Chains A and B, each alone.
Chain A
Amino acid sequence: MQAFEYARPKTAQEAVALLASEWGKSELLAGGSDLLSRMKDDVSAPQRIVSLSGVHELRGIAASARGLRLGALVTLDELETHPAVREHYAGIAQAVEQVGGPQIRNVGTVGGNLCQRPRCWYYRNGFGLLATYKGRPLVPDGDNRYHAIFGNEGPAYFVSPSSLAPILIALGASLRLLGPDGPRDLPVEQFFVTPKSEAEREHAIKPNEVITEVLVPPANGTKSGFYEILQKESLDWPLAMAAVALQMEGRRVEKARVVLGQVAPVPWPSAEAEEALKGKMVSEEVAEEAGRAAASKATPLSKNKYKVQLARVAVKRAVLLAAGLVKKGEV
């Protein structure tokens, strides 16, 4: 880890002022569970760390008729255990309850989770976000068992790691960014972009912007669910995940949102699965069909064909969970 300057502002405004306008020079520090490991591995070497720990306005969960307001510093554990979240946004609770382990959930924050960098092992070993070596892309001929099966025409092959992003997108959430010119709101879906060059990022955030909060619209009876496939019971990265939000009329689906995670450089909304669910009475067969539709356009790499099957299963099980046809632990 390189030596760095440490700043601890009291307000989001001050934090913004402390950030550099170029990438690489400064980094915000929330729970640190991602940033510190990158710094230790020399993948990131900021000259200044701007800690958010003193910025109290970024804390707190507020549930009201206008929906859910999540401060950027809300921890994953707070999110998982919040009664209103558990009652009205089951998919959010399900998405965070298996992230890492208790230690990670105790420090990891909403803002940090959305802004964490990919876990692509070429990136983490110093070959850049787009993983190149001597001018060649490493992933297509390399060990791509954990890489993208959608949106992988290159040059980006990594997968978006956030467990929170797919469910927030499925629920139509937006986030608020504060920059030198004031705040701006952005749908979470538009926050994630596929970089086309090493100079670009996978997040639509400027180097001197701070996420201050995430706003989830009122649930209004929307049923949500989340399912991920982990190999281990804990402290493991999911191999595929799916978030589902259903607006239902009895057992019939009026409108569905299906967003996959860990399968593409961005959280991956599946119009095919949404179409397969629309107007249907949810059943095992319909859920299965949604899974099949979600996986139908996958373009796996040399070593990750199995992820297509896992994506299919994740969608199917998330649909069943969202519709309440099964409980977590039964699928």
Chain B
Amino acid sequence: MATCKYDWPEAAERHLIGKPISRIDGPAKSSGRAKYTYDINRPGMLFGKVLRCPHAHAKVTSIDISEAKNLPGVKAVRVIQGEGKEILWGGDEIACVAAVSEEVAEDAIRRIKVQYEELPFLVNEEDLERAQSQGHTRAPSVQTKGDPDKAFADPDVVISEGYYGAPVITHCCLETHGQVTEYDGSDHLRVWISTQGVSTIPQQFAEVLGLPATHVEAICDYIGGGFGSKFQIDRWGVECARLSKDAGGKAVKLMLERDAELKVAGTRPSAFAKVKVAAKKDGTLVAWQSEAWGTGGVAGAGVPPLPYVLEGIPNQSKKYTAVSTNTGGARAWRAPNHPQAAVLTLCALDDLAAKLEMDPIEFLTKNTGLAPEHLGETYNDELAKVAELSEWKKYWHPRGRGGSGRIRRGLGVSIHTWGGRGHNSNCDVLIQPDGSVEVRLGSQDLGTGTRTVIAIVAAETLGLPVEAIKVTLGDSRYPYSGASGGSTTVGGVSASTRRGSVDARDQLFAAVAPALGVPPDQLEAAAGHIRVKGNPAKSLSWKQACARLGTKTIQATGKNPGPCELGSSGVGGAQVADVSVDTETGRIKVNRMIAAQDCGLIIDMKTAESQVYGAMIMGISYALFEERVMDDQTGIMLNPNMEFYKLATIGDIPEFIVHMMTGPQYDRRGVIGLGEPPVISPGAAISNAVANAIGVRVPTLPLTPDKVLAALEKA
């Protein structure tokens, strides 16, 4: 079989790819040398602050900025939404200022006088009837497949009905959204911005500010969390640039306050559903019915993909109603719509398995044929793996048979899927005559290990150690590389880096072939040498080889997509949660989480496993703690802080067992993204484990003591 020259090396020839390698920016991050947007300080820099609307729904009837303007130290004041503007959610931007210090900027904000006409609002959506009666719902979308009525009427099927849900949560990035903007002359803008899409930023600013995109530079060396909420420049970004301009081009730093971060900088939509599922007595799924709803703010919310994963259930009836609420808007949240869909589906299926008195792993395994294409077999392997690693047979018990003690233990399982095809990416691979190597691209490292993966691919291709590669990213002046969303980065940058590195290496082969007396295609790059294939003694050290370049630097551009398929899409994963519930207090302790995950060819085993760990931490957090609390009477968010918007702390994190699926059948698929999939299952797996422990379902996340006690009382 003729192989393509860019193909990934065969397993036996990989020295770095797939090994556990520590991230190359770890020391910079842990020592504090890594500079985040928050750390950027420019000479003469001003500070920006935003005045936000305190009402959930209101009309601005007047605004007076004169006192703010006259305050000494204030350099610019801008009205963002002035007289006559209808404000649709609390915290929306009204005006902003730039001043010589944060304190003066705050004082100026307090001096802006705004009058509002308050308007009726709705901020909570779990009560669908109320939302409907107040005209806050869209026309439902209805879908039917097969003959669900007939299927449910079959006397031989077992039916389970339940109510499930996950509330609105926020992204709560530890580094809040924001930027520093600075003009260079009147028409060049430089922006340090906390972003998931460095290469996409110039175009966004250019469009609204009327500048050529070539005159905008975006920089983001490090980012403190995005999770899908940091693709846009946002209104505060645009206004920050305008404040700079109004202040004579000076740098302005405008980072969101913590409360604003939680109110307006991104939420994950809620999803609630009444679900009815039916299976034959042997566990074969035959019918699904769901009436679901949710909100993502004024614009409603995206429809969760139901039934999740096992989409081939033959008879289906689905209704979805989007609820419009006067709340901060939704943004993509790590695997948009999937964690909610997993809760609605896999909790319902778990309840059905309990009713059938079947082990849920056996039940799922029986039905994996209903998953798309190739995934069925993957799930079977992954379910078997998590069963083995969790000692499922030893710890699992039929629902409700967890004993009568005060502390009850239970296990739960869930499965998930995601796409993850590599995005568009370009990079320059440079080999200097002194032997140094650099890969440059306008990508970003969200903390996922992007820098490290690029270094590994380049090093593997050039036969060098990882440390020999300098990776430069985070600046829009480098070749365009896509935004980091949809778990597309590792596939994109590893493929572009591979292609660029192969081409750069081939140029080097061409330059040194005469010296080694063989045609270039007889050369290989390995162990820090360029050597003749099959005759390693005939070689030049990397440095000697590069010296042959004279004064000429090699620069090759790698692209994705490009020749030879280096990636694909569509992964599966299975997770088991092991919990203990204190039945007197309703408090849940997660004892262990066990994950099996595939993502095609793994570039770095360590950062891949880290992605799964991080995702499960985030998963425990939203399963047990996170919830945006909106007040029906005032329309405000009651917990826009990290005291009552609860996030898991280190003590809440249990033992993790992570198994990455490897082997020829996974390698063959090339590189596939991993950032999102493992965050999908924890909510369902933990909820199922709790149901297994205490014998009843706690219907909605987060699984707080009040809800656990209420469920126990009902049982």
Query: Using a CB–CB distance below 8 Å, which chain A residues touch chain B?
Result: 1-3, 41, 101, 119, 121-122, 124-125, 127, 133, 136, 138, 141-143, 145-146, 229, 231-237, 239, 303-306, 309-310, 313
Contacts and interface: CB of A to CB of B under 8 A. Distances in A.
20 contacts: A2-B107, A119-B643, A124-B641, A125-B638, A127-B634, A141-B633, A142-B631, A145-B706, A146-B644, A229-B585, A231-B646, A231-B704, A231-B705, A232-B625, A233-B649, A236-B646, A237-B644, A306-B705, A306-B709, A313-B585
A127 B638 CA distance: 11
A133 B633 contact: yes
B651 A233 contact: yes
B649 A101 contact: yes
Interface in B116-140: none
A117 to B, nearest CB: 13
Given A229-B587, A309-B584, A310-B705, A133 B646 contact: no
A288 B142 CA distance: 53
A122 B638 contact: yes
A160 B191 CA distance: 46
B432 interface: no
A133 B634 contact: yes
B715 to A, nearest CB: 14
A77 B326 CA distance: 44
A289 to B, nearest CB: 15
Given A138-B633, A138-B634, A143-B638, A3 B705 contact: no
A121 B636 CA distance: 11
B642 to A, nearest CB: 8
A133 B636 CA distance: 12
B632 to A, nearest CB: 7
A155 to B, nearest CB: 16
Interface string B512-537: 00000000000000000000000000
A119 B646 CA distance: 14
B643 A237 contact: yes
B629 to A, nearest CB: 6
Contacts of A310: 585, 705
Of the candidates B103, B259, B641, the one having the most CB atoms from chain A within 10 angstroms of its own CB is B641
Contacts of A119: 643-644
Interface of B: 103, 106-107, 110, 259, 584-587, 624-625, 629, 631-634, 636, 638-639, 641, 643-644, 646, 648-652, 704-706, 709-710
A239 B704 CA distance: 11
Nearest to A145: B706
Q: Among A133, A235, A305, A313, find the residue whose CB has the most chain B CB atoms closer than 10 A.
A: A235
A233 to B, nearest CB: 3
B116 to A, nearest CB: 14
B107 A3 contact: yes
Nearest to B704: A231
Contacts of B648: 232
B414 to A, nearest CB: 22
A267 to B, nearest CB: 21
Contacts of A2: 107, 110
A142 B584 CA distance: 26
Contacts of B651: 232-234
B584 A231 contact: no
Contacts of B259: 41
Residue among B625, B644, B706 with most chain A CB within 10 A: B706
B710 A306 contact: yes
A229 B625 CA distance: 15
A231 B643 contact: no
Given A231-B705, A232-B648, A232-B652, A142 B636 contact: no
A22 to B, nearest CB: 22
A272 B55 CA distance: 45
B646 A232 contact: yes
A306 B586 contact: yes
A143 B636 CA distance: 12
B588 to A, nearest CB: 9
Contacts of A237: 643-644
Nearest to A45: B110
A229 B709 CA distance: 13
Contacts of B652: 232-233
Contacts of B587: 229, 231
Given A133-B634, A143-B631, A143-B638, 14 more contacts: A119-B643, A119-B644, A138-B634, A145-B706, A146-B644, A229-B585, A232-B646, A232-B648, A232-B651, A233-B649, A234-B650, A235-B649, A306-B710, A309-B585
A41 B624 CA distance: 27
Contacts of A303: 706
A98 to B, nearest CB: 10
A136 B704 CA distance: 29
A3 B709 CA distance: 47
A141 B643 CA distance: 23
Nearest to B589: A233
Nearest to B712: A309
A142 B646 contact: no
Contacts of B709: 306, 309
Contacts of A3: 103, 107
A127 B54 CA distance: 12
B103 A121 contact: no
A232 B705 contact: no
Name the residue among A1, A101, A145, A309 with the largest chain B CB count within 10 angstroms.
A309
A93 B197 CA distance: 50
A313 B406 CA distance: 12
A7 B650 CA distance: 38
Nearest to B638: A121
Contacts of A239: 705
A58 to B, nearest CB: 27
A67 B557 CA distance: 78
A309 to B, nearest CB: 6
A119 B639 CA distance: 11
Nearest to A313: B584
Contact of B103 (A1, A138, A232, A234): A1
B16 to A, nearest CB: 38
Nearest to B118: A134
A143 B629 contact: yes
Nearest to B640: A125
Contacts of A309: 584-586, 709
A249 to B, nearest CB: 29
A66 B634 CA distance: 52
Contacts of A41: 259
A306 B633 contact: no
Nearest to B703: A231
Contacts of A122: 631, 638
A298 B655 CA distance: 39
Contacts of B586: 306, 309
Nearest to A229: B585
Contact of A234 (B106, B584, B585, B649): B649
A142 B643 contact: no
A133 B632 CA distance: 12
Contacts of B639: 121
A239 B259 CA distance: 23
B65 to A, nearest CB: 19
The 3 A-B pairs with the shortest beta carbon distances in the complex, nearest first, are A233-B651, A306-B706, A121-B638
B713 to A, nearest CB: 9
Given A229-B585, A232-B651, A233-B652, A1 B643 contact: no
Contacts of A232: 625, 646, 648-649, 651-652
A124 B643 CA distance: 11
A121 B637 CA distance: 10
B438 to A, nearest CB: 41
A267 B586 CA distance: 24
A142 B632 contact: yes
A298 to B, nearest CB: 14
Nearest to A138: B633
Contacts of A234: 649-651
Nearest to B586: A306
Nearest to B634: A133
Contacts of B643: 119, 237
